[in-house]
Amino acid sequence: MFKCRKHSLGRLVLASALVTVISPPPMCPAQAVPASQGRGIDPAVLAKASNGDAASQTLVGIAYAKGAGVQKDLSIAVSWYRKAADQGNRDAEVRLANCYLNGSGVETDVQEALHWYSSAANLGDTEAQRQLGFMYRDGEYFWKVKEDDAESFRWYSLAANGGDADSENAVGAAYRSGAGVPQDFGQAVLWYRKAAKQGNNSAEFALGNMYENGVGVAKDHAEAVRLYRLAAEAGNADAQYFLGNMYYKGLGSARNFPEAVRWFRKVSDQKYSQLHERWTARYTLGDMYYNGEGVPKDYGEALRWYSLAAEIDVLGTALAQVGDMYYKGQGTSEDHAEAVRWYMKAAAKDNEYAQLRLAMSYDAGDGVQKSDSQAANWYMKAADQGSESAMLNLGNMYSDGRGLPRDYSSAMEWYRKAADKGLGGAMVNICLLYRDGNGVAQDYSQAMTWCRKAAQKGEPIAFSAIGGLYLEGNGVPQDYAEALRWYQKAADQGYDRALLAIALMYEQGEGVPQDIGEAYFWYNLSCSSPLPAEVLDKWRHWRDEAAKKLTAGRLAEIQNRTRQWVKTHPPIYD
């Protein structure tokens, strides 16, 4: 339901997104006005007021409320309003109701305010009618009266039929949402148009929104832009945001990044804009500077806007983005500890990505002291929110017994959850559990099934595992050529175990002619792995033993071939 933005109209001042009614300054119980205090008031008006003229009594009340010609005294103003209101003066009744509603010159008394608004409204006062519609619409949350949409609609309708633009807008909103009246988009459009013709920017915005979405009218983005612009130029924060978004997406006009920036900047500074709109405007500006969309790419400016968004971040997205920028050193010095601090803030808001990044930081001791238990804790939180990467890593921690008791069944459970989300790495790990019989009965057929699923996702470890199953004839007929083909696919992606497997095949002549030079080539590549020294020392020993069997010329030729291979392939990894 669209909340209508109100504007100052005569006696009622309706301000802010909460639509607070600000009445004339407070006034107290009736009392005589000392002659010395009344010297600044027109003597003729004061005389008529003293003789019981209601209109003059109201004017005297206004003078005291404003301090016009007399010392400002809200309680005296109330006394004069009451004299006039007791005679049925609508203007005085509304002013007196305002005082009771806001505690201006009298104790706040909503029921007394309702009494005087109702009296004025029944005499045809549109401002009182609108105020009653307002109060019954928002009910106990603001006014401590029972919410009654039907009663709200009745009063708004009376005021709208009297030509009150804010009430016309409210009637349109009621028809759009079906509050107090059967939902009717056609009627909503009709009443929004009436209010918009009077320059009501809330109605201009609402009507623009209906054109943007094709609700009650044919979808027309150009008309939506026109209406949004009218409302935006009048200061309507909702319209400023939606207009910026239309320019950003190129809806209703050619994509126009400078205009998007202009309107997003305006709504960012609007204290009466909705929190979501302010946040989105700031975050989008961050994205625009980060990606160089319509503005020069500027990480520093992007960080500034992301940080502003972070100040009002509810979901933690901007907080996590600021963390990423500190982590990467974009727009600021690289600072992993500071990144962790921002991830922590975002994680506290249940941001899944930040929880994952925090887990990874604890897992690696990156920007924070390494802690397997903390890593497991944050992986669990992110996994519970659906992060497939966290599910995979949590499965790994159960499988390795890091931060959690070793539990292959729990590992399998999390791997399956991640695999169900399409994560190839989880499929590989399920394959390996079945291959090695960890937590499940050893089953080479299941291992091959899961490895093939992972291979379809392009996982090099799956390629290598399939090669191993063909090499040993586990779950499939032994086939050296097929083993070599799959190892080669993994090796082309830089997987070190596949490089080593090919080297061993050539050295031992398994399924291929024995070739020490070819073995040396693959050993040499595998020794570029980032594996710990105690593992690589063994691989280097095998490489060096193969080198002893080669001539100096052949060795130089293979080393040159190795350098060329490294230039054209991905980095070697474990």
Same domain, 395 and 438: no
**Residue 24 in this model has a pLDDT that exceeds 50:** no
Q: Name residue, tokens 């919410």.
A: 147
Same domain, 348 and 408: yes
241 in any annotated domain: no
397 in any annotated domain: yes
Q: Domain tally for the chain?
A: 4
Quickly state the pLDDT bin for 39 (edges 50, 70, 90). low
CATH of the domain at 318: 1.25.40.10
Write out the residue range of the structural domain in which residue 35 sits: 1-123
86 in any annotated domain: yes
Crossing angle of helices 201-213 and 165-177, rounded to 10°: 30
Q: For the whole model, what pTM was predicted?
A: 0.77
Same domain, 349 and 451: no
Same domain, 428 and 414: no
110 in any annotated domain: yes
558 in any annotated domain: yes
Last residue within a domain, chosen from 123, 145, 170: 123
**Residue 29 in this model has a pLDDT that exceeds 60:** no
Same domain, 479 and 534: no
Q: Is the Cβ–Cβ distance between 462 and 454 less than 8 Å?
A: yes
pLDDT digits (tens, 9 = 90+) for 86-119: 999 999 999 999 999 999 999 999 999 999 999 9
Rounded mean pLDDT, 73-82 = 96
As a whole number of angstroms, the distance between CA 392 and CA 375 comes to: 13
Same domain, 395 and 482: no
pLDDT at 270: 81
Rounded mean pLDDT, 540-569 = 95
335 in any annotated domain: yes
| DSSP 8-state assignment for residue 573 | B
429 in any annotated domain: yes
pLDDT digits (tens, 9 = 90+) for 301-334: 999 999 999 999 999 999 999 999 999 999 999 9
Same domain, 3 and 64: yes
| DSSP 8-state assignment for residue 40 | T
Rounded mean pLDDT, 267-274 = 80
370: phi then psi, degrees, rounded to nearest 5: -60, 135
Last residue within a domain, chosen from 397, 419, 441: 419
pLDDT at 40: 80
Rounded mean pLDDT, 57-72 = 94
Quickly state the pLDDT bin for 381 (edges 50, 70, 90). very high
C-alpha to C-alpha distances, 265 to 188, 258, 259, 322, nearest whole angstrom: 31, 11, 10, 19
Last residue within a domain, chosen from 123, 140, 165: 123
Same domain, 108 and 6: yes
Same domain, 522 and 556: yes
Quickly state the pLDDT bin for 272 (edges 50, 70, 90). low
Same domain, 1 and 119: yes
C-alpha to C-alpha distances, 333 to 100, 308, 344, nearest whole angstrom: 57, 19, 19
pLDDT digits (tens, 9 = 90+) for 450-495: 999 999 999 999 999 999 999 999 999 999 999 999 999 999 999 9
**How are beta strands 20-22 and 13-15 bridged, if at all?**
antiparallel
Same domain, 427 and 411: no
484 in any annotated domain: yes
Same domain, 461 and 560: no
As a whole number of angstroms, the distance between CA 505 and CA 520 comes to: 11
pLDDT digits (tens, 9 = 90+) for 131-156: 999 999 988 767 678 999 999 999 99
State percent of the chain over pLDDT 90: 88
Closest CA to 201 of 156, 167, 235: 235
